[in-house]
Amino acid sequence: MVQLDERAAVRRLHDRLGTGPRPGDLDRTFGAALDAVLGGDAAGEVPPPRPVSPARPAKGDRAAKQDAAHQRDEDDHALTTWWLDRMVTTNRPALERMTWFWHGHFATSEQKVRSPRAMLAQNETFRRLGLGPFADLAQALVIDPAMLVWLDGNDNRAGAPNENLAREFMELFTLGVGHYGEPDVREAARALTGWTVRADTGKAELVAKRHDDGEKTVFGQSAKFTARSLVALLLERAESAEFVVGRTWFRLVSAQPPPVDVVARLVPAFRRDTRSLLRAVASEPAFRDPANVLVKQPVEWAAGLMRAVGVRPRDLEREQADGLLKALRGLGQTPFRPPSVGGWPAGGAWLTTATWPSRLDLAKLVADRADLKAALGTADRIEGVRRLLGVDSWSDRTKTALGKVSGNPAQLVVVAANSPEHVVSR
C-alpha cells in the first residue's frame, strides 16, 4: 500500500481528526501531531452565549409570538457564529471535530426543535462526552430534550407509544439497517414512554403515569425495560460497535467500508472510549493511503479556511457574519440545522455547480478580512498560499489559475481555497 509522506500524513490528521491545520501545525512529527490533536486545553475558549428566548415556543397573542420568534432567530444566529468560532480557534481539535461528528450522527435540527437552549444543551453534551465512552453519550441522548422534541418523544406515552425515537435510535444511532425487527421497535418504544420536555424549563423528565412499566420483549429478552436498560441492551449487541465504528470510518477515513480485520482491531478501542478509537484509526495503514480521499463538508472547509488565515467569526461585523451564514446556507450546511435525522450527505454531493457562487462568496469574505501580506510572503506567493492552506502540492492546472491572480493576495486565497487540492481532503 502506498503511504503519504510524513508531512502529508500530519496534514490529513488535522483535516480528518481536527478542524484543519494552523500555521506551524504541519512542522510536527505524526506522533506529536496526533497527541496534540487528541489533547490540548481550554485556554482561550469563549463560553457560549446564553439564549434568552423561551425554552419552548411561546404561546399567547400574535405580537408575543413574533417577539419570541425574533429573539429565537437572534439566539440561533449567536450560537451558530459562536460554534463556528470555536471550530476555528480551538486548542482541542479532536474534541471539536467529534462534537461536529456527533451532531451529524445524532442529527437534530433547530428547524423543528425551535429552542436554542435545547440545541445548546445538546451541543454541550456532545462536547462533554464526545471523546469518552459511546455508552455514556448514547444514554444521555436518548433522553436529551432536543432529541425528544425532534423525534416526537413528547408524544410517546403508555397505551399509545410513538415509535419514531425507538426506530431511529436503532437504525441510525446504534445498530444500523437490518439489525432489528418491527416487534423490537414496538417494544422499545414502550420502554421509552413517559419522557417529556417541560414547557416551563425545557428540561426532560420522566412522568410516571405516562410510562409503560410492564414487561417488554426486545431481541428475545424480556424485562421491564426503561430508557436506560434499553440502551444498554442495544449497545451489548455485537453489531452496535461495528456500526458506529463503520460510521466513524466513513466520515474520517474512506467512503469504502473498513475491512473485517480493521473492524476487529478498532472495536476494542471503541469500547474503551472515542479518543482511543481515533488514535487507533490514525494508526491504521489505510489512514495514510492517498487513495482514501474525502470531500470536505462545507462547514469543515469554511472552518479550516478561517483557521488557516486567522479570521475569527466572532470578530466579524454583523453584516459580515450574516454573509458567512448566508454562504453556508447556499452551500447546504449550517450548524444546528441538519436536513433530516439521517444527517448531512457526503462525498460528491457537495461538489455541485449550483453551490460555487456561495463558495466563492464565503472565501472572498474571509480573504478580505485576513492579513495576507505577511502570511503569503512576497517571493513566491503561489508557494506561500500553498503553505498557508496546508496543501501538499498544486497541479499544473491549478498553478496556472493561481498565476493569473498572484498579484492580488485576496483573489489568490479565494482561488486557492476553491481549488480541488483544498476542497478535497487528500
pLDDT tens readout for residues 242-252:
999 999 999 99
Q: Percentage of the chain with pLDDT > 70?
A: 99
What residue ranges in 232-378 does DSSP mark as E strands? 294-295
Q: Are residues 228 and 297 in the same domain?
A: no
Q: Above 90 in pLDDT, residue 352?
A: yes
Q: How many domains does the chain have?
A: 2
Strands 221-223 and 294-295: unpaired
Q: Are residues 101 and 142 in the same domain?
A: no
Q: Are residues 167 and 277 in the same domain?
A: no
What range defines the domain where residue 102 resides? 1-117+273-370
Q: Are residues 140 and 90 in the same domain?
A: no
Q: Are residues 280 and 307 in the same domain?
A: yes
- The rounded mean pLDDT for the chain is 96
Q: Read off the C-alpha cell for 425.
A: 481532503
Asked whether residue 378 is domain-assigned, the answer is no
| Among the listed residues 49, 58, 61, 30, the one whose alpha carbon sits nearest the alpha carbon of residue 117 | 49
CA torsion angle for 110, 50, 81, 316 (degrees, to 10)? 150
Q: Are residues 95 and 137 in the same domain?
A: no
Q: Are residues 4 and 112 in the same domain?
A: yes
> Alpha-carbon torsion 120, 126, 129, 134, what sign?
positive
CA dist 87 and 120 (Å) reads 15
Q: Above 80 in pLDDT, residue 58?
A: no
216 membership: H or E segment, kind and range: strand 216-218
Radius of gyration, CA atoms only, the chain? 23
> Alpha-carbon torsion 41, 46, 49, 50, what sign?
positive
State phi, psi for 218 to the nearest 5 degrees. -125, 125
- Return left, alpha or beta for 263; rule: phi > 0 is left, psi -120 to 50 is alpha, else beta: alpha
Strands 216-218 and 221-223: antiparallel
Q: Are residues 92 and 157 in the same domain?
A: no
Q: What is the 3-state secondary structure (H, E, C) of 175-211?
A: CCCCCCCHHHHHHHHHHCCCEEECCCCCCEEECHHHC
Q: Are 351 and 359 in contact (CB under 8 A)?
A: no
Q: Are residues 83 and 179 in the same domain?
A: no
Cβ atoms within 10 A of the Cβ of 46, count? 11
Q: Are 88 and 307 in contact (CB under 8 A)?
A: yes
Asked whether residue 316 is domain-assigned, the answer is yes
Amino acid at 117: R
What's the pLDDT tens digit per position in 187-235?
Answer: 999 999 999 999 889 999 999 999 999 999 999 999 999 999 999 999 9
What's the pLDDT tens digit per position in 284-314?
Answer: 999 999 999 999 999 999 999 999 999 999 9
What's the pLDDT tens digit per position in 7-19?
Answer: 999 999 999 999 9
Q: Above 90 in pLDDT, residue 54?
A: no
| Residue 379 pLDDT | 82
Residue 137 CA neighbour count, 13 Å, CB half: 28
Tell the residue number behind the cell numbers 506567493, with chain if given. Answer: 381
Q: Are residues 154 and 94 in the same domain?
A: no
- Return left, alpha or beta for 121; rule: phi > 0 is left, psi -120 to 50 is alpha, else beta: alpha
pTM, two decimals, is 0.97
Q: Are residues 140 and 105 in the same domain?
A: no
Asked whether residue 162 is domain-assigned, the answer is yes
CA dist 223 and 209 (Å) reads 19
Sorting pLDDT into bands at 50, 70 and 90, what band is 85? very high
Asked whether residue 201 is domain-assigned, the answer is yes
Q: What is the DSSP letter of 425?
A: E
Asked whether residue 254 is domain-assigned, the answer is no
Asked whether residue 166 is domain-assigned, the answer is yes
Q: Are 76 and 109 in contact (CB under 8 A)?
A: no
Q: Above 80 in pLDDT, residue 1?
A: no
Q: Are residues 138 and 231 in the same domain?
A: yes
Asked whether residue 422 is domain-assigned, the answer is no
Boundary-marking domain end, from 241, 259, 288: 241
Boundary-marking domain end, from 347, 370, 393: 370
> Alpha-carbon torsion 15, 341, 262, 92, what sign?
positive
Boundary-marking domain end, from 352, 370, 388: 370
Asked whether residue 24 is domain-assigned, the answer is yes
